[in-house]
Structure 1
Amino acid sequence: MAEIRAFNATLQTGNFTRAAALLSVSQPAITAQIRKLESRFMSPLLERFSKSVRATELGHQLYQITRQYHDLEAAIDALSNPTLAPGKMTLQVANASSLIFMPLIAEFSRRFPLTTLKIRSVTTSECRQLLLNREVDIGLFPLMNDNSELSRLAFSSHRLVAVLRLDHPLAHKSAVSVRELAAEPLIIYKPEAYTQQTLEQLFGRHQLTVSGNVVVDGRLDMSEAVYHGLGVGFALEQDFSSDSRLKVLPVTEATDDVIEHVVWMKNRRNLPGIRDFIHLAIEQRCGALSELSEL
């Protein structure tokens, strides 16, 4: 176990020095443990660089198995101390919808100020993969397909909208149809972006094809491309920050809600940090529903 801890800490922190600091041992001790582990496999587990390391294929396979050991230790601590709140720890979060989830993240930070939050802003598909690889603890994204390893909490919902310049011929309308949009130059996202997938599904249901000469990586680039006259852009409604230069219009046929979820590995639910984040999300979700019921 000492060898495994040294190996995992080195991969998690990126080099031997930080791994030694994490485990409160000397750097030579870390190096010795990893060499001993590699001798068991009679093959390198790490590629060494001047200031970092990277797992070999065999090392990656070993890490996928052994990274669960830390969860086991944390689960035992949580079982023996059921009221234990997260202390000085790091919670890794993969976030695909910052405007929706940042208030939740901020509230968690206020309640648990000793916890360091590491936030990775990535696409929906990347969020899912990072969770399954145990590279993050919490995912914030639309999880549309059931997965036996993942649990989810519906947190918010919104729909696809079109984004136009104020002087665009369609900007005076209260809503715009997919056929009107199909006749316009469109600003599109890379294929793995969830907004792009939603757009293509919508157009596909009406036997239309999404095409455009401008492909962007994110919503900020989309907004600037729209403002500079490169075409009509798209966003999920709550993901778009208000911009006085642009007009946001509902798409008439976009009647399906996209549900944003808080997502976690089922077998990690009771770990400190993850458990508390879930409880806070439930609390905020129930509070929002109570406010709606009073309107």
Structure 2
Amino acid sequence: MSTDLPVVLITGASSGIGLETAVAAARAGSFVVATMRDTGRDAALRAAARDAGVAERIEVRRLDVTDQDAARECVAAVVADHGRLDGLVNNAGAGRVGTLEIDGTAKAREVMEVNFFGALHTTEAAMPHLRASGGRLVTVTSVGGVIGQPFNEAYCAAKFALEGFMEALHPVAARVGVSVSVVEPGAVASEFVRNAGAEDIPARIAEAGPYAEAMQAYLDRTRKSFAAAQSAADAGATVAALLTGDRPAFRVQTSEAARAFISPKLADLDGGTVTGLTAGWVA
């Protein structure tokens, strides 16, 4: 069924920032295709959509972003059913607390598959349709995509890679009418955080060997930082605003805490200086 509303596809929408972005985007007037790896986990999204009065503007589809063929098929089906694609929000992600010597490279590859290649799969599939609509490509990265954080080596590597990829794509996509942005949340109270820490922490520390004391200190610090975490609704509202606002910035933080955290490394907070420079390379 085609629609006259802008059509937005959001990955990882079963909870947290993805869920809140889906509801906020629907409330702002978009038709939202909310994807998740397990559609049996759609109850929270559907309830939030009903409470917001936008249930008719949100549909749920299954998508495992690590499956490239599935990403292509999902995007093609959305365009076939609704006639257009105006926005893609790459939000699906997976955390990992550990360090290379203990975890090995296999765990790092798993994290990269979800956080980096998963976003590339959906972006590749969506780009022709975003070109046709003059659409928006928004990717949720992290403050961990700017500052490497202890015991988040694989996660930060994937988010650094995403930031670099999207920063390089920005001027190229702009030449064909597609806006590219990355969103950098700091601490957000979400199921993603609970999932990342869902492993048996005492067991993880016991396995950490010579890194056990440092891991314990890191986890103690992290628990304190998340005591004042931003709500997922606030972060989702920031993401959704990039789908409709005029001339969105390339780099956007979701809170003052996030801006303060990365400001020692990034003086160019909104990315305008870098993307302004590289835009000249393709003019």
Per the normalisation by structure 2, the TM-score is 0.29
- Of Structure 1 and Structure 2, the greater strand share is in 1
Per the normalisation by structure 1, the TM-score is 0.28
- Of Structure 1 and Structure 2, the greater helix share is in 2
Higher Cα radius of gyration: 1
